[in-house]
């Protein structure tokens, strides 16, 4: 059987090769009834082209190695893949370090907030124009081992952030002396050099914000966000948020150290 493609309607049909003369011949398309002039050489060429097209361009010229051959080359292939993965990993880490700040020396890392509540060297700043809320937050942080300073004025908080370092800062969004005071406080902290900013845990505690875990608070420039209506959850949220804060940067610096040793 040979295949013929109608030049009028592109219909493909087959005819018995024994009925085809050696030279050119005429045949009627069964779909559109057009009379087609064809030759045996032409139909053979079309068949070869069709067969070639059916071979996948991805696998053309490639042969699947036999089991024994694969086992022989497998170590080299795995080594190449591992090397490519390690290279990509180092490049990603270097890119991250460039985006969020210069990387530390291979065997050093900044001091992150301690997990021990007995470490009284940790300092916290509570920024809240509501004295009652400020007192509640202060008591929670005292129990967690912080030395706490409380500011009821945004201007006072900004001055203290200018001249002091705090391991943890909580802030309201609006203040009596400045309705945009909270944003200014967040801007002050987030405007620090990346290696300094990474040492500060920031919690927004406000009546005008939704409670958000770390991934949601990120868009507010903070580590956690808590609505004051859920103040009873602050202690637990702080502990969970601080653990996440310590873990993520511990892993980050460990990866940087590993990349630094390989670069």
Across 74-83, 184-193, 247-256, the highest mean pLDDT is recorded for 184-193
pLDDT band of residue 150 (cuts 50, 70, 90) is very high
Q: What is 32-76 written as a DSSP string?
A: T--EEEEEHHHHHHHHHHHHHHTS-TTTTT--PPPHHHHHHHHHH
Q: Is the pLDDT of residue 236 over 60?
A: yes
Strand partners, 225: 204, 212
Q: In this structure, how many other beta carbons lie within 10 angstroms of the beta carbon of residue 223?
A: 24
pLDDT band at 258 (very low <50, low <70, confident <90, very high): low
pTM above 0.75, yes or no: no
What's the whole-number average pLDDT of the chain? 76
Instruction: Please write the tens of the pLDDT for every residue from 29-50.
Output: 888 888 877 776 555 444 444 4
pLDDT in tens, 60-115: 444 455 566 777 777 777 777 776 776 666 666 555 555 444 444 443 444 444 44
User: Treating both helix axes as pointing N-terminal to C-terminal, what angle do 234-262 and 67-100 enclose, rounded to 10 degrees?
Assistant: 120
CA distance 177 to 120: 31
Enumerate the H helices of 101-166 as residue ranges: 131-143, 154-163
Indicate the DSSP class of residue 212: B
Strand partners, 26: 37
């Amino acid at each position: 059987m040979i295949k013929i493609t109608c030049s009028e309607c592109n219909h493909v049909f087959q005819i018995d090769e024994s009925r085809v003369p050696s030279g050119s011949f005429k045949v009627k398309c069964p779909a559109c009834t057009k009379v087609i002039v064809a030759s045996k050489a032409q139909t053979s060429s079309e068949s070869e082209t069709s067969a070639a097209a059916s071979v996948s361009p991805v696998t053309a010229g490639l042969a699947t190695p036999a089991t024994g051959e694969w086992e022989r080359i497998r170590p080299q292939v795995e080594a190449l893949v591992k090397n490519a993965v390690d290279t990509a990993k180092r490049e990603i880490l270097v890119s991250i370090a460039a985006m969020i700040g210069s990387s530390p020396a291979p065997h050093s890392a900044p001091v992150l907030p301690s997990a021990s509540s007995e470490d009284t060297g940790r300092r916290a700043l509570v920024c809240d124009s509501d004295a009652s809320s400020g007192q509640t937050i202060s008591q929670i942080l005292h129990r967690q081992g912080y030395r706490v300073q409380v500011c009821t004025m945004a201007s006072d908080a900004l001055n203290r952030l200018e001249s002091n370092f705090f391991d943890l800062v909580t802030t309201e969004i609006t203040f009596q002396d400045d309705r945009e005071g909270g944003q200014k406080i967040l801007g002050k902290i987030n405007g620090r050099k990346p290696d300094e900013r990474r040492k500060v845990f920031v919690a927004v505690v406000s009546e005008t914000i939704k409670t958000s875990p770390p991934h949601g608070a990120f868009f507010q420039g903070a580590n956690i966000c808590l609505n004051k209506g859920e103040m009873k959850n602050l202690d637990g949220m702080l502990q969970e948020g601080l653990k996440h804060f310590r873990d993520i940067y511990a892993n980050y610096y460990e990866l940087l150290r590993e990349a630094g040793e390989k670069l």
